[in-house]
Structure 1
Amino acid sequence: MKIGIPKEIKPYEYRVACDPNGVKEIVNKGHKVLVERNAGIGSGFTDEDYKAQGAEIIDTAREIFAKSDLIYKVKEIFPEEFAYMREGQIIFTYIHSNAHREQTDAMIEKKIIGIAYEDVDDKDGEFPLLKPMSIIAGKGGFLAALNFMQKIYGGNGILLSKIDGIRTPEITIIGAGNSGVGAAELASAFGNKVTVLDIDVNKLEAARKVLPPNVEFLYSNRNNLEMCLKRTDVLMNCILWPKWRKDHLVSKDMLTIMKNRALIVDIACDEGGAIETCKSTTHDDPIYEVNGIIHYCVDNIPSAFSQTATQTLCNATLPYLLEIADKGVEKALKDNKYLRRGLSFYNGKLTLKETGRKQERPYITPEEALGI
């Protein structure tokens, strides 16, 4: 199979789908890898690094798409790339189709086979292709909080660390999953008072076993959430909100009970999601204010740590990529029910329920699409 790795075109996106070590693994399996010129520069990998491992360097994204059976990416397909796609081509990336109606239209029209990293799960109900980025996003979100609580960046001038003789800052983290634990790990290491909220008692118990004593674990109900909102300096949202829900965990009205110029860091960046006032921002314009509360909602935090993110993402996605390349996409999807759950599009049909519900368009199951 011919695997194409284009350069990401989202502003301030420095990751690449595969590092040179991953290319070597693909080539050793007998497949061909095409890498767009300078695709790895943002992550510290040169064209020569890729060539040394057997990749062919291609000048343009148009050529990459034209010559490749499978497109291996990080971010979704952008409008500039729609024309490059062709019928039957496999797109393997973070698709997030529910948030991008135009992309959904294009993939259906082009009869693409789209497999979304974010929806592939495993036997434990976890999301292995989200996990590495979630951990980095959680840690990076706390580092962003350190930055934007500084007075010079518009914050209250609070150092998020325990300092003798003064009140210890408080950090509230919604969600005890991978990003929540990642955020809590750094926040607690700096000596802050950290509270983690979740409705899953098992997740709270698992997090308690790996986090230090200055982390409090609370069941996420209305009273506990409001108590935390009143006292917290930083609120970090680390949960994904069901795309079809119209309500919110933290409404705009609830911002009035928070401290003036407290900071919200939304790791999930679900627009209109768990936090009503959150909307995606970028690394070059990362914050905005609503009712006196600062919001940081950068939707690709891991890009700031591009080399680390690329390497961990490649490690996670590569086994699935090789399964598709070795078996062919149809057999791989039929054989692996976990991979199949990532199928968003198949030959002109939408196969992801949450996108169908959110965008109010027809969909079928992956099993129906594959005839199994």
Structure 2
Amino acid sequence: MIVGIAKEIKNNEYRVACTPNGVKEFVKRGHTVLVEKDAGIGSGFSNEEYIAQGAEIVETAEELYKRSEFIYKVKEILEEEYKYLREDLIVFTYIHSNAHREQTDKFLESKAIGIAYEDVYDRNGGFPLLKPMSEIAGKGGFIAALNFSQSIHGGNGLMLARVHGVRTPEITIIGAGNAGLGAAELAAAFGNKVTILDVNTDNLEHAKHILPPNVELLYSDEQNLINCLKRTDVLMNCILWPKWRTDHLVSREMLKLIKPNSLIVDVSCDDNGAIETSRSTSHDDPVYVEEGITHYVVDNIPAAFPQTSTYSLCNATLPFALQIADKGVKQALIDNKYLRRGLTSYEGQLTLEETGKKQDRPYISPEKALGMED
């Protein structure tokens, strides 16, 4: 199979889907790998390093998409890339189809095959291709909180650390998953009073064993959340809100409970999701103010740490990408039910239930699309 490694064009996106060592794995199996010129520069990989592992460097995105059968990338297909989608082209990346209706339209119109990292799951019900980026996003979200709490960046001037003789700041984290644990690890290490809220008691039990005693673990009910909102200095949202839900965990009205000039860091970046007032921002323009509360809702936090992120992401996605290349996409999807869950579009049909519900459009199961059921 001809595999194309695309150069990301999203604002301030420096990651690349595949490391030179990853390219070597494709080449060893007899596949051809095309790498768009300078695709790895932002992550510290030169064109020469890819060539040394058997890749061919192509000059333009147009050439890459035209020659490739399988596009392996990091971020969703952007408007400038819509023209490259075509029938039988396989795209394996973070797609977030529910949040990008026009992108979904283009996948369906072109009949391209889209497989979304964020919807692939494992035997434990987890999301293995989200996990490595979630940890980095959680930690990066707390680093952002440190930055945007500073007065020189428009914050309230509170140092998010334990300082003798001064009130210790309080950090509230919604969700004890990978992002929440990553955020809590750093926030606690700085000496803050940290509270994690979650409805999953197993997650809270796990957090108890790996986090220090200055992390309070609370069941996430309405009263506990309200109590936390009243006292918190930073609220970090680290839960994925179901895509079809129209209600919110933290409504606009509830923001009035938070101290003025405090900070919300929405790591999950579900627009109008768990946090009603959240809307995605970029590294160039990362914050805005709603109801007197500063919001940081950058939707690609790991891109700020591309060397770490690229290695971590490639380690997670490469085994699935190799299955697609080795077996062909249809057989790989039939053989691997976990990969199949990530199928978003197939030959002009929407195959992701959540997007169908969110966008109120028809969808079918991946199994039906693949001919596995009548």
Q: Same fold (TM over 0.5)?
A: yes
How far has the Cα of 1:200 moved from its partner? Answer: 0.4
2:182 corresponds to 1:182: yes
1:107 counterpart residue number: 107
How far has the Cα of 1:79 moved from its partner? Answer: 1.2
How far has the Cα of 1:30 moved from its partner? Answer: 1.0
Percent identity over paired residues: 69
1:18 counterpart residue number: 18
1:291 counterpart residue number: 291
The secondary structure found in structure 2 opposite 1:83 is: helix
List per-residue Cα deviations over 1:188-236 (Å, max 9, x = no partner): 0000000000000000101111000000000000100000000000000
CA–CA distance in 1 between the matches of 2:151 and 2:76? 35
CA–CA distance in 2 between the matches of 1:79 and 1:151? 37
Unaligned runs of 5+ in 1: none
2:168 corresponds to 1:168: yes
1:92 counterpart residue number: 92
1:266 counterpart residue number: 266
Matches within 5 A, 1:137-176: 137-176=137-176
How far has the Cα of 1:360 moved from its partner? Answer: 0.7
How far has the Cα of 1:288 moved from its partner? Answer: 0.5
CA–CA distance in 2 between the matches of 1:184 and 1:209? 13
2:256 corresponds to 1:256: yes
CA–CA distance in 1 between the matches of 2:114 and 2:255? 39
Matches within 5 A, 1:151-230: 151-230=151-230
How far has the Cα of 1:113 moved from its partner? Answer: 1.1
2:304 corresponds to 1:330: no
How far has the Cα of 1:341 moved from its partner? Answer: 0.2
2:369 corresponds to 1:369: yes
2:121 counterpart residue number: 121
Counterpart residue type for residue 195 of structure 2: T
1:32 counterpart residue number: 32
How far has the Cα of 1:82 moved from its partner? Answer: 1.0
The secondary structure found in structure 2 opposite 1:173 is: strand
How far has the Cα of 1:54 moved from its partner? Answer: 0.7
1:319 counterpart residue number: 319
CA–CA distance in 1 between the matches of 2:51 and 2:119? 32
2:7 corresponds to 1:7: yes
CA–CA distance in 1 between the matches of 2:98 and 2:156? 36
Counterpart residue type for residue 276 of structure 2: E
How far has the Cα of 1:133 moved from its partner? Answer: 0.4
How far has the Cα of 1:86 moved from its partner? Answer: 1.4
How far has the Cα of 1:363 moved from its partner? Answer: 0.3
CA–CA distance in 2 between the matches of 1:58 and 1:334? 32
List per-residue Cα deviations over 1:46-84 (Å, max 9, x = no partner): 101111111100000011000001000100001111111
Query: Runs ≥4 in structure 1, deviation > 4 angstroms?
Result: none
CA–CA distance in 2 between the matches of 1:335 and 1:222? 43
TM (normalized to structure 1)? Answer: 0.99
- How many residue pairs match? The answer is 372
Counterpart residue type for residue 165 of structure 1: G
CA–CA distance in 2 between the matches of 1:248 and 1:68? 42
List per-residue Cα deviations over 1:6-27 (Å, max 9, x = no partner): 1101010000111111111111
Counterpart residue type for residue 142 of structure 1: F
CA–CA distance in 1 between the matches of 2:362 and 2:292? 41
2:304 counterpart residue number: 304
CA–CA distance in 1 between the matches of 2:290 and 2:345? 37
CA–CA distance in 2 between the matches of 1:30 and 1:232? 55
CA–CA distance in 2 between the matches of 1:218 and 1:176? 10
How far has the Cα of 1:329 moved from its partner? Answer: 0.8
How far has the Cα of 1:243 moved from its partner? Answer: 1.1
2:78 corresponds to 1:78: yes
CA–CA distance in 2 between the matches of 1:284 and 1:9? 14
CA–CA distance in 1 between the matches of 2:168 and 2:353? 45
Counterpart residue type for residue 95 of structure 1: I
Aligned Cα root-mean-square deviation (Å): 0.6
List per-residue Cα deviations over 1:83-120 (Å, max 9, x = no partner): 11210110000010001111111100111111000000
CA–CA distance in 2 between the matches of 1:278 and 1:89? 34
TM (normalized to structure 2)? Answer: 0.99
